[in-house]
Amino acid sequence: MAQLENIKDLWKQQETENIRYSKNELQGMMRQRSSSVVKWILIISILEFILPNIIFLVTDFEASREFNEQYGLTNMVNVYLGIHIVIILGFIYVFYRNYRNISVDTSVKMLMHHIITTRKTVKYYIYYNLTIAALIGFHMFYEVFNSKAFLSTLPEKTNLALIWIVSSVLFVLVLVLLWGIYKLVFGFFLKKLNRNYQELEQAE
């Protein structure tokens, strides 16, 4: 049994020795892996921008327009929509630039720098989407709950504070769910980038 264990140890040692890569080979592998990860981040951000607009177009656009007009939300929605489109297109451009930077043959230090930049951009992207969703949601609550059209439909002695509390709690739960989805999807890619960064750091 002891002899068998020694043979197994020799096999493991030989396998380890055979899987040693040069610094240039490791850099090329990490660049390829990181480039693939950032490409998927770019694709997901584009899909996240396009799909809601497609869904909005195929749903009842007229009903949404009437709802916004009834509660005085038209201007608010247009302002937020305009700001959101500009910022999201900015993020998509930055993701594309990160993808190009990582794909280009550069030094290990520059590759590590681009990986860190990409990770920061993804985190800012998540924070922005959650923040803008919270701003729009609570702003809409404020406008609707204080509009004459809404107040006139409430029975007498309705506890408006309770409506605010219930709506806020449900909306926060939606935001937490959204954060969980972002954490699951983008967290998967961030872990891969972090693993690539650590391997490059050890090779330095």
Q: Is residue 170 classed as helix, strand or coil in its secondary structure?
A: helix
Question: Residue 145's closest CA among 127, 165, 131, 129?
Answer: 165
C-alpha dihedral sign at 48, 54, 58, 63: positive
- State residue 173's pLDDT score: 97
The answer as to whether 21 is a domain residue is no
Residue 1 lies in a domain: no
* E-strand stretches of the chain: none
Question: Do 73 and 140 meet the contact criterion of CB atoms below 8 Å apart?
Answer: yes
The tokens for 2 are: 């002891």
Give the pLDDT confidence of 29-59 residue by residue, as tens digits: 777 888 888 889 999 999 888 887 777 666 6
Residue 15 belongs to a domain: no
Q: What is the mean pLDDT of the chain?
A: 82
pLDDT computed for residue 60 by the predictor: 60
Position 127: which residue type? Answer: Y
The answer to whether residue 24 sits within a structural domain is: no
Give the model's pLDDT for residue 195.
86
- Residue 9, in any domain of the structure: no
Asked if residue 7 is part of any domain, the answer here is: no
| Domain count across the chain | 1
191, containing H or E segment: helix 160-203
Longest Cα–Cα distance in the chain: 88
Query: Per-residue pLDDT for 63 more than 60?
Result: yes
Q: Is residue 183 part of a domain?
A: yes
In a domain, 194, yes or no: yes
Count CB neighbours of 169 within 10 A: 10
- Look at residue 109 in the predicted model and tell me its pLDDT: 80
Kindly tell me if the per-residue pLDDT of 6 is higher than 90.
no
Rounded Cα distance, 24 and 135, in Å:
47
pLDDT, average across residues 131-154: 91
- Residue 117: give the domain boundaries: 29-203
pLDDT in tens, 174-192: 999 999 999 999 989 888 8
